[in-house]
Amino acid sequence: MNGYPVPVSVTGSDAARAQDAARAQDAARAQSAPLADETAPSYGADVTFAGRPAMTTTVRAADPFRTSEAAGLADIGVAIGIPEPYRTQLQDWRERLGDPNAALIVPHVTLLGPTTVRVADLPAIETHLARAAETPEPFTIWLRGSGTFRPLSPVVFVAVVAGATQCASLAAAVRSGPLERPLTFDYHPHVTVAHDIPADGLDRAYAALAEYQARFDVSGFGLYRRGADQRWRPLRFFAFGAPGTEVGTGSEEEPRAQEGRRRGAS
């Protein structure tokens, strides 16, 4: 299993120097890495709704160019939504940077990337996700500083510096049962702020968000579905500690974190 490039967080006048060092390190790692099997399923280094999940016999990579409804299929993803005011702050950054994905999905921490399932299987999947939410307790996520997956993937993100262990445990629970599938890259929780934009835009995002910080409480996670317009919309919110057969209705505004607070932003 391949690992991610080491995420880099920088502050102040050290941004450019740290960025150059990170690029050199990533380039060296890429050159020394063994060549991948071209016939193997691919999975983007950016484990977000813009990435591509590895395929298995029961769960397939999402294809944005087919009509899911007509085929009896649905593209789904599972994520922790970012609460306000950080949701708007990070969404504004994506829009200002010209990210083509900005209007398609709200800021989030991915637990399960885009995955194609049968519509008929959605009830069982919802039951599975509700059970995965039964035992976890609320926890705090702390976002701080910027990082990048370059050169493996043209992505700049805000790093999760606290709450990463809980995110990883949740992701493992989600990717089990009817959603079980392997990952080509190790899971690395983060919040994407720029993806698939020119290099100078990625550089600008990396430097501008080097000192961004935010903390908020997490009380559950959401199931999202991609529509015919390619926009991801929430189907259900799964609150921690709820009985396995009960789920909340989806909404664009998931339950707000009680202790959401901004510690500083560039």
Q: Which CATH number belongs to the domain containing residue 209 in this structure?
A: 3.90.1140.10
User: β-pairing, 261-264 with 248-249?
Assistant: unpaired
Q: What confidence tens digit (pLDDT) does each residue in 97-146 have?
A: 889 888 899 999 999 999 999 999 999 999 999 999 999 999 999 999 99
Tell whether 6 is covered by a domain. Answer: no
Residue 202 lies inside a defined structural domain of this protein: yes
Q: Is residue 177 part of a domain?
A: yes
Give a yes or no: residue 172 inside a domain: yes
State the number of CA atoms in the 13 A half-sphere of 94 facing the CB. 26
Instruction: State the pLDDT at residue 196.
Output: 85
At residue 265, what are phi and psi to the nearest 5 degrees?
A: -150, 150
pLDDT at 258 > cutoff 60: no
Query: What's the CA gap between 103 and 100, in Å, rounded?
Result: 7
Q: Which residue has the higher pLDDT, 199 or 251?
A: 199
pLDDT per position as a tens digit, 6-26: 344 333 334 444 445 444 444
Cβ(125)–Cβ(117) below 8 Å? yes
Residue 242's pLDDT is 76
pLDDT on residue 143: 96
d(CA 224, CA 173): 17
Q: Is residue 37 part of a domain?
A: no
Number of domains in the chain: 1
Check residue 184 and give its pLDDT.
78
Q: Strands 248-249 and 232-239: what pairing?
A: antiparallel
Judge whether 35 lies within some domain: no
Domain extent for 105: 12-30+43-250+259-264
Question: Edge-to-edge strands of the sheet including 220-226?
Answer: 60-61, 108-118, 73-81, 220-226, 232-239, 248-249
Query: Per the domain annotation, does 1 fall within a domain?
Result: no
Taking the alpha carbons of 185, 187, 188, 192 in that order, is the dihedral positive or negative?
A: positive
Q: Residue 65: what pLDDT? A: 52
User: Is residue 38, in this structure, part of any structural domain at all?
Assistant: no
pTM of the model: 0.71
Q: What's the pLDDT score for residue 169?
A: 96
167-215 residue pLDDT tens: 999 999 999 999 998 877 789 999 999 998 899 999 999 999 999 999 9
Q: Is pLDDT above 50 for 253? A: no
Q: And the tokens for 17?
A: 């120097």
Identify the pLDDT of residue 181.
Answer: 83
